[in-house]
Structure 1
């Protein structure tokens, strides 16, 4: 059975789907499956020129909005690149981005398509202040979910909460499957260590949706109380200058290290104590599972897939979104009590190994793939 894994970002990109799928593919190929990866290189821009049409809505009324125009052009580019590069046929295509899924079904209409929706582009843009919920860009992007439902043979998403979110935009939400992201457990090695000063770490793109401003205010509250810490921020993004300026304003710049982009943060993470990310929305929140596999205690917000990964007080702590006082209290509790922190991290590791190991996800996907075998 020949299967194509169709990504949007190239597989060498760090984080989330782009780093997960190659490990998944390796597991399948070692077991005798025939799988290949495909993605759109970043250098391919403005190449495609074919007309784009959808069967469930008319996108033309949204034309002229930069977000929509860029999205449509990217679909055209993906069509151009796919026609140029793919010359063979496949028994099944598994797409991991709406553009990849829509293009693959357009060019290979007789090939079964599984579509995993990993995140919500419109929510990210809204939280990052780029679009409004009542604007044309939001309407265009949410209309794509119904189009995907129409075109894909199977829709899958990564958490029950995100399935619930999608239910507002599709006709048969009960048919959406849920398979969480999986992680190659061999990449993560918890390290026994004793830090005299609690080491806090966050790994993400530096954008408003991640709530890092709330984290800096919470850390300033820790310092005001005389509680020592070091905050390590791994990642880069458009609001890095603002966050650095805020850290200086709050008097915690000397306690905060901005690392910028890092290719393999999992090599670094096991030497810290607490992973914290006060996101304002997450479809799944892959980095929490990765942090748990590194042996860290977890602190997150009660949103989306984070709240499905963390059971409050059992394998981590949950706080409301944008609640500085609650986040500061949670950090004080977990950072100030090494035994409590160890207990949380131990349970978090056990749950991550059980629920999010690559072995389990491969088993779930294998069952889905086999249902589309021609000889089944």
Structure 2
């Protein structure tokens, strides 16, 4: 079979689907399948000109809204770039972003197009303070789920919690198949080490949705309780300066290292002890599985896909979102007891290898692709 994986971000971008799909391509290629990757380069802006029409709602009611207009222009740019650069024919197109999915179905109407919905752009914008809940931008972005349901041949998503999240916006959520993300365990090499001071690490884009302000307040509580640690923050984003200032105000600046952007953080993670990320929302949370494969003890919030990855007290610790005291207490359990920390990390590694292996994803996707080909 010849399959196109249609991304939005270029595949060299780290994190989540962008880092996973090239490994999927490599595994399928070794099985003798043809598989191409396609995405929109960042340099392509303002090129597309053609009108866009949706079947399930009238987009003209959102005309003039800056965020919606920018989204629609990106839609036009994706059409322009696809017409210019993509001349192939495919048995199946598997998209990983709503724009990519809808454009591919428009340009390849006779080809089965399926999409994995990896996250909620609207939820991220709300949590990051960019749009208001139930505002016009929120309404537009949630209406896209219905458009995807009507136009595409199959929908998939990455967690049961995210299928529940999108259920109000579509007619038949039972038809959405859940395939959690998978990771090539060969990329992750746990390293035996002994850190005299517990080393905490978080890896994310520095935006409000990730809850790093909560993490810093939890670390301040941990320090007040007399527990030494170092927190390593890998990632960059619009609130970096705000977080650095908060670290100063909380008397934490000497206990924290801000690294900025890093292309392959998984090469760095095995030297640390605890991975912590108190996200306010997370469709899956790929970095938790990656950290588990590096043999780190996990601490996360009881939201979305994080709660599906972590069995509290077994292979990690879960805390409520927006609760720095509970987060500090969870961290204290791990920094004060190396044996408990080791056992939690070992259990996390065991589950990640069994449940979130790339081979499991390949097997499930292969069945989806072949069953659909049989149907048509």
Say yes or no: TM over 0.5.
yes
The whole-number CA distance in structure 2 between the counterparts of 1:225 and 1:371 is 57
Q: Which residue of 2 aligns with 1:317?
A: 317
The whole-number CA distance in structure 2 between the counterparts of 1:27 and 1:205 is 28
The whole-number CA distance in structure 2 between the counterparts of 1:345 and 1:124 is 29
The whole-number CA distance in structure 1 between the counterparts of 2:273 and 2:117 is 32
2:372 aligned counterpart, secondary structure:
coil
The Cα of 1:371 is off from its aligned counterpart by 1.2
2:299 aligned counterpart, secondary structure:
strand
The whole-number CA distance in structure 1 between the counterparts of 2:242 and 2:73 is 31
CA RMSD of aligned residues (A): 0.8
Alignment pair present for 1:196 and 2:196: yes
Q: Which residue of 2 aligns with 1:177?
A: 177
Contact 2:227 2:335 in 1 (8 A): no
Contact 2:210 2:280 in 1 (8 A): yes
1:56 aligned counterpart, secondary structure:
coil
Q: Which residue of 2 aligns with 1:161?
A: 161
Deviation digits for residues 11-68 of structure 1, max 9, x if unmatched? 0111111110000110000010000000000000000001011000111111111110
Alignment pair present for 1:101 and 2:101: yes
Deviation digits for residues 129-184 of structure 1, max 9, x if unmatched? 00011210000000000000011111000000000001010000000000001111
Written as runs of structure 1 = structure 2, the 5 A alignment for 1:197-212 is 197-212=197-212
Written as runs of structure 1 = structure 2, the 5 A alignment for 1:351-370 is 351-370=351-370
The whole-number CA distance in structure 1 between the counterparts of 2:315 and 2:372 is 37
The whole-number CA distance in structure 1 between the counterparts of 2:375 and 2:53 is 34
Q: Which residue of 1 aligns with 2:215?
A: 215
Contact 2:93 2:114 in 1 (8 A): yes
Q: Which residue of 1 aligns with 2:224?
A: 224
Q: Which residue of 2 aligns with 1:337?
A: 337
The Cα of 1:374 is off from its aligned counterpart by 5.6
Structure 1 stretches of at least 4 aligned residues deviating more than 4 Å after TM superposition:
none
Contact 2:159 2:180 in 1 (8 A): yes
The whole-number CA distance in structure 2 between the counterparts of 1:373 and 1:55 is 26
Written as runs of structure 1 = structure 2, the 5 A alignment for 1:275-290 is 275-290=275-290
The whole-number CA distance in structure 1 between the counterparts of 2:308 and 2:373 is 32
Contact 2:6 2:39 in 1 (8 A): yes
Deviation digits for residues 350-370 of structure 1, max 9, x if unmatched? 100001110010000000000
Alignment pair present for 1:68 and 2:68: yes
The whole-number CA distance in structure 2 between the counterparts of 1:317 and 1:86 is 46
The whole-number CA distance in structure 2 between the counterparts of 1:61 and 1:375 is 38
Contact 2:10 2:18 in 1 (8 A): yes
Q: Which blocks of at least 5 consecutive residues in structure 1 are unaligned?
A: none
The whole-number CA distance in structure 2 between the counterparts of 1:332 and 1:306 is 20
The whole-number CA distance in structure 1 between the counterparts of 2:43 and 2:80 is 13
Q: Which residue of 2 aligns with 1:262?
A: 262
The whole-number CA distance in structure 2 between the counterparts of 1:373 and 1:59 is 33
The Cα of 1:375 is off from its aligned counterpart by 8.8
Alignment pair present for 1:272 and 2:272: yes
Q: Which residue of 1 aligns with 2:138?
A: 138
1:193 aligned counterpart, secondary structure:
coil
Q: Which residue of 2 aligns with 1:44?
A: 44
- Alignment TM-score, normalising by the size of structure 1: 0.99
- Alignment TM-score, normalising by the size of structure 2: 0.99
